[in-house]
């Protein structure tokens, strides 16, 4: 989507049909600006990523995951994603604009919220998180700064950049990546233990409820180790204005052991929680298409990679000579790559007549849905699992070599991680690449 500037005394930037205005916020990877649809007059928020930053920080996979999650969860208490666009240098998320600002600012202005108001916001939060969990989505960064309020007092959850999908988890549905804001993360996350995403989100909701009503954190310390020890002990000192009913509920949420922590179905039955509750009505969308988004992101990625290669005058793949081939003759077997034999060695090879840029692209596309991040350097590729396993993250290197014109070898090496987990990845990876593998055996 081309970007241009509108003429006039007040020069403003246009992105498609949106006229960009003031900055609403800035993060580590993106900037958010207010914008107005020039056709309808509707106000929106536009989240802007620089493509060069996305490539250098290897964020394409994370951005795609955020888009997929936001398209999957259409709920009245979740900020909606309207569309995704791109220019030559930037990627744009067009989001619902929530005019009331952050819940954090409201708490700061009023010092604390009255019990009925806090309950109303907590009810909306829990119902939205329950909906997310029903879709296999765990937010993992719930805090008042990521909860927005519209002018009608409707709470909206924002910022799903650290969220996890159930298919990213291991078979026992345990997550391993520690993320979130220290004062709001559950003890099992803080201590880098495997954790259940739903239980971790519930803990964060309990901290938010306490902060809304107290105006301060239940556990706080400038030293992270001391902070985490306080969380582990979970000694709660409730202010005198807390009712016994809310004290009971918070105590059941902020249990250090996730096994003893209350669940969302149990929260939904709690008498204090259920008082004056309003159940939102909305149309649940179960069919989600990302074809248009993937087209934009893939095109952006390829354009950026080509531009970087041209700028750096990147040479072609390294060449293998006859001596390299002879050294492999006794070991090379394409049947191993194609899955007809178990791979026990730390490296293996396959041949292809596809162009090297296509080989790299296909390996990236294949690794992504398997939960692997990738970093490309010319015709070398480093793949790393997004979740730590039994022996840390599985890491794999791949490099394309030219043997003859229009004939290439690809070398795969396991760098680190558990061998069984690598084998599981390798089986799926090799099967997905069968169509680019030259299948005549050597030797």
C-alpha distance from residue 118 to each of 106, 184, 186, 226, 423 (Å)? 11, 17, 21, 29, 50
| Parent domain of 212 | 103-269
pLDDT digit string (tens) for 240-291? 999 999 999 999 999 999 999 999 999 999 999 999 999 988 776 655 556 6
Which pair of tokens denotes residue 84? 């995704």
Percent of the chain past pLDDT 90, that is, above it, reads 38
- 67 and 111 both lie in a single domain: no
**201: in domain:** yes
Separation of alpha carbons 433 and 350, rounded Å: 10
d(CA 84, CA 290): 10
- Of 47, 78, 96, which marks where a domain is finished? 96
> Does 265 share its domain with 121?
yes
Token pair 């084998």 is at which residue? 423
Reduce the secondary structure of 372-423 to three states and give it as a string.
EEEEEECCEEEEEECCCEECECCEEEEEEEEEECCEEEEEEEEEECCHHHHH
One of 53, 130, 141, 150 is an active-site residue; which one? 141
Q: What is the pLDDT along the chain (443 residues), one digit of tens a residue?
A: 444 443 333 446 889 899 999 999 887 778 999 999 999 999 999 999 988 787 777 677 778 788 888 888 889 999 999 998 888 888 899 999 999 989 999 999 999 999 999 999 999 999 999 999 998 899 999 999 999 999 999 999 999 888 887 754 444 456 767 677 899 999 998 887 788 999 999 999 999 999 999 999 999 998 888 999 999 999 999 999 999 999 999 999 999 999 999 999 999 999 999 999 999 887 766 555 566 666 666 666 566 555 555 554 556 676 655 555 555 554 444 455 555 454 555 667 788 888 888 888 888 888 888 888 777 777 888 887 777 677 777 888 888 888 777 788 888 888 878 888 888 888 888 888 888 887 654 43
Determine the Cα–Cα distance for residues 127 and 75; give it in Å rounded to an integer.
10
Distance CA 271, CA 269 (A): 6
Residues 111 and 92 in one domain: no
Query: Which of these three, 41, 76, 96, is where a domain ends?
Result: 96
Q: Which of 96, 119, 141 is the last residue of a domain?
A: 96
* Phi and psi torsions of 202, nearest 5°: -65, -45
**In this structure, are 241 and 92 located in the same domain?**
no
**Residue 60 CA: distances (Å) to CA of 18, 88, 209, 364:** 24, 15, 34, 11
Do 85 and 139 reside in the same domain of the chain?
Answer: no
Residue 141 annotated as catalytic: yes
Please write the tens of the pLDDT for every residue from 188-216: 988 877 889 999 999 999 999 999 999 99
CATH number of the domain within which 16 lies: 3.30.200.20
Mean pLDDT in the chain? 81
C-beta of residue 338 within 8 angstroms of C-beta of residue 430: yes
Please list the residues that pair with 83 across neighbouring strands.
Answer: 94
Overall size of the chain counted in residues: 443
- pTM more than 0.75: no
Q: Is 47 known as a binding-site position?
A: yes
CATH number of the domain that 150 lies in?
1.10.510.10
């Amino acid at each position: 989507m081309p970007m241009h500037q509108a003429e006039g005394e007040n020069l403003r930037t246009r992105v498609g049909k949106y006229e960009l205005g003031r900055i609403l916020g800035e993060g580590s990877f993106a900037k958010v600006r207010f914008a107005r649809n020039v056709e309808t007059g509707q106000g929106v928020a536009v989240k802007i990523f620089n493509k060069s930053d996305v490539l250098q920080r290897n964020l394409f996979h994370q951005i795609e995951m955020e888009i997929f999650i936001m398209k999957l969860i259409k709920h009245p208490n979740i900020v909606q994603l309207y569309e995704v666009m791109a220019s030559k240098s930037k990627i744009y998320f067009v989001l619902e604009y929530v005019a009331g600002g952050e819940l954090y600012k409201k708490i700061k202005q009023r010092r604390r919220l009255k019990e009925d108001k806090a309950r109303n916001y907590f009810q909306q939060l829990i119902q939205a998180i329950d909906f997310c969990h029903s879709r296999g989505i765990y937010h993992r960064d719930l805090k008042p700064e990521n909860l927005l309020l519209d002018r009608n007092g409707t709470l909206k959850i924002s910022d799903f950049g650290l969220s996890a999908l159930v298919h990213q988890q291991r078979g026992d549905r345990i997550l391993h990546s520690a993320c979130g804001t220290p004062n709001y993360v559950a003890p099992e996350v803080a201590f880098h233990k495997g954790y259940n995403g739903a239980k971790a989100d519930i803990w964060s909701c309990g901290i938010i409820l306490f902060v809304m009503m107290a105006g301060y954190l239940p556990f706080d310390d400038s030293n992270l180790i001391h902070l985490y020890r306080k969380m582990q002990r979970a000694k709660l000192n409730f202010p005198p204005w807390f009712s016994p009913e809310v004290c009971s509920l918070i105590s059941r949420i902020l249990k250090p052991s996730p096994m003893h922590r209350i669940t969302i179905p149990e929260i939904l039955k709690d008498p204090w929680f259920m008082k004056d509750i309003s159940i939102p009505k909305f149309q649940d969308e179960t069919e989600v298409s990302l074809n248009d988004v993937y087209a934009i992101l893939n095109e952006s990625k390829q354009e950026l990679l080509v531009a970087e290669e041209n700028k750096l005058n990147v040479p072609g793949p390294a060449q293998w000579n006859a001596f390299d081939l002879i050294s492999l003759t006794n070991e090379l077997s394409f049947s191993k790559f194609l899955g007809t034999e178990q791979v026990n060695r730390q490296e293996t090879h396959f041949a292809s007549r596809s162009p090297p840029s296509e080989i790299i692209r296909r390996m990236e596309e294949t690794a992504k849905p398997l939960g692997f991040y990738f970093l490309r350097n010319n015709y070398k590729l480093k793949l790393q699992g997004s979740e730590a396993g039994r022996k840390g993250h599985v890491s794999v290197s791949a490099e394309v070599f030219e043997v003859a014109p229009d004939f290439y070898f690809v070398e795969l090496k396991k760098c680190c991680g558990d061998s069984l987990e690598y084998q599981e990845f390798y089986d799926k990876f090799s099967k997905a690449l069968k169509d680019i593998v030259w299948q005549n055996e050597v030797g």
